[in-house]
Amino acid sequence: MANRDILAIGTSAGGVDALRHLAREFPADLPASVLVVIHLSNQFPSALDAILTQAGRLTATFASDGEALQKSHIYLAPPGRHLLLEGARLSLGSGARENHARPAIDPLFRSAALCCGPRSVGVVLTGTLGDGASGLMALQQSGGITVIQDPNDAVYPEMPITALTRVKPDHVASLAGMPALLKGLLDQPQGSRVPVPERIKYEVEVAKGGRGTMQQMDRIGRRSVLACPDCHGVMWEIDEGELIRYRCHVGHAYTAELMSVALDENLSRALGSALRALEERVALAERMRTQAIESGRDKLAKEWSDRVREFEHEQTIVLNSIRRVDEISAQLKRHCS
């Protein structure tokens, strides 16, 4: 039986240095293909491929759609596309963002689970919030080995903490100890094939760019009372034991914690629109009061003065609400795991 030969890595904040360390320690004859998702902005070009190539003995490149997989090579998810594995080839998905990110880590792990679970090792490194936990669970359910960086060792511990909370990993390791651990895991025979849950197959198709139906979503979750922060459609609640996620049939997906943050951001934007409307009402009322005073219509001027005070009071209420929502959102972002 062949050994495990797929190494899927997900990271976010602090991930460049962590990836540079791993690249420096990987041997030139690493008997696996390394697939990496790190949350990158699509607003600026990235030199991460050059950085990792220069750091070690393996060549690192941004993946191309349909590219054949090779061992002893590092493949990076390009900005704006989900990196997916389809047997011996790579696929770049144009599906909706997950956890506010594309590329997202969960789709990579799910695609590895679907095609190559028993051959795969999934790794969650330093990062914020909770991307990667659901995908790591899917990989474990499909026969893959799961590894999480020790949160005490991570520059940003939230992502490892989330994964530890949701998944009982096979291994927890410091960054310094991870190269030797991963080499040992890749030297082991691949596991036995296990059935892949239908939900994983569906979510991989969505990440590719497909859209589900309400009937399909009803089979993997239950309809919630929440609207999608991105498209405002119905959200389905998906229960994965310790992990609760939300997904709409367009494809947007959130952990419960990130859903809360996204809803707070939408509320803040809505309150901002209300504040602008009130500012315009105050300006108009003040203009009408001035005209009434200039024309000697004292009674009408008093009515407009009363409206100015009323609108200004409403302004204060909305402004305080915005500040409170922003404070709560900031606290959640710091606390989320």
* 131 tagged catalytic: yes
- Average pLDDT, whole number, for the chain? 88
Task: Please give the pLDDT value at position 264.
Answer: 57
* 12 tagged catalytic: yes
Tokens 């949160």 -> residue: 151
**Interval 201-255: pLDDT, tens:** 999 999 999 877 888 888 888 998 888 888 888 889 998 877 788 898 888 888 8
Catalytic residue among 12, 91, 111, 142: 12
Q: How confident is the model at residue 78 (pLDDT cuts 50, 70, 90)?
A: very high
Q: Are 207 and 111 in contact (CB under 8 A)?
A: yes
Q: Are 134 and 163 in contact (CB under 8 A)?
A: no
Long-range contacts, 174-181 (Cβ 8 Å, 24+): 174/149, 174/150, 175/18, 175/21, 175/22, 175/125, 175/149, 176/21, 178/22, 178/123, 178/147, 178/149, 179/22, 179/25, 179/26, 181/147
Taking alpha carbons only, the member of 199, 215, 196 closest to residue 207 is 199
CATH superfamily of 6-186: Methylesterase CheB, C-terminal domain (3.40.50.180)
Task: Please give the pLDDT value at position 284.
Answer: 86
What does residue 117 show for φ and ψ, rounded to 5 degrees? -50, -55
Q: What is the mean pLDDT of residues 272-294?
A: 83
**Residues 317, 322: Cα–Cα separation, whole Å:** 9
Q: Where are the domains of the chain?
A: 6-186, 211-251, 258-335
Catalytic residue among 33, 100, 131, 329: 131
Q: How confident is the model at residue 282 (pLDDT cuts 50, 70, 90)?
A: confident
Cβ contacts of 272 within 8 Å, gap of 6 or more: 322
For the ranges 162-171, 177-186, 221-230, the maximum mean pLDDT occurs at 177-186
Catalytic residue among 33, 39, 111, 142: 39
* 41 tagged catalytic: no
